[in-house]
Amino acid sequence: MALLHYPPLGPDAPAGEPGEVLGRLARAGVEVAAYGHLHGEDHRWAPRGTIGGVVLRFVAADFTVFTPRPIWTSKQGPVDEPG
């Protein structure tokens, strides 16, 4: 698991493609990357789902209404994002 401040997609990444940062995470064996940084109306731009083999979890505090979200369990691995 990787915890990042910024979304792991950069300007080098076409939409839906992993790009350099996410590619490095995938090569390092990271299964889940949790990140924030995007606030307010920018929530709509937050990449989610699985890209490049890494599950992306958007966990900005204002997006989650300051409610902790499960990301990983030792028994099942990545936890599905709440609907």
Cα–Cα dist 20/13, whole Å: 7
Question: Do the domain assignments include residue 83?
Answer: no
pLDDT in tens, 14-69: 665 667 888 899 999 999 999 988 888 887 888 888 888 999 998 998 988 898 88
**Domain of residue 49, residue span:** 2-78
Mean of pLDDT values over 4-19: 72
Place of tokens 């699985």: 50
Look at residue 82 in the predicted model and tell me its pLDDT.
64
Supply the pLDDT for residue 79.
Answer: 76
Number of domains in the chain: 1
Helix and strand element counts for the chain (H, E): 1, 6
The reply to whether 64 falls in a domain is yes
The amino acid at 32: V
pTM value? 0.79
Whole-number pLDDT of residue 37: 87
Beta carbons of 29 and 52 less than 8 angstroms apart: no
What's the distance, CA 3 to chain centroid? 8
CA-to-CA distance for 39 and 82, rounded, in angstroms? 19
Let me know if residue 67 belongs to a domain.
Answer: yes
